Amino acid sequence: MTLHHSDTTGFDRTHTRVRPRFEGCNICTWIGFKHVMYCIEEAVVDHFRAHGFGPRELYEQKGLCLEIVDSSVRILHALHIDDTVDIEVVPSPKAPDGVLRVAVTLTVPRDGKPLKAVTGYVDVLFRLDDSVVTPQPASGEPRLAPYTCTRIRRGPQRSIPDAGLATARQAGNPPLDVRRAGCR
Q: Is the dihedral of CA 71, 65, 20, 93 positive or negative?
A: positive
What lies within 8 Å, CB to CB, of 160 at 6+ separation is: 175, 177, 178
CATH of 2-150, one of 3.20.20.30, 3.10.129.10, 3.40.50.300, 3.30.470.30: 3.10.129.10
Half-sphere exposure of 155 (CA within 13 A, CB side): 12
Half-sphere exposure of 130 (CA within 13 A, CB side): 5
CB of 22 closer than 8 Å to CB of 31: no
Helix (H), strand (E) at residue 3: strand 2-6
The whole-model pTM stands at: 0.78
| Tens place of pLDDT per residue across the chain (184 aa) | 444 444 445 688 999 999 998 888 888 899 999 999 999 999 999 999 999 999 999 988 888 999 999 999 999 999 999 999 999 999 998 888 889 999 999 999 999 999 999 999 999 999 988 777 765 655 668 889 999 988 887 766 666 566 555 555 555 555 444 445 555 5
Q: Where are the domains of the chain?
A: 2-150, 153-184
Half-sphere exposure of 36 (CA within 13 A, CB side): 27
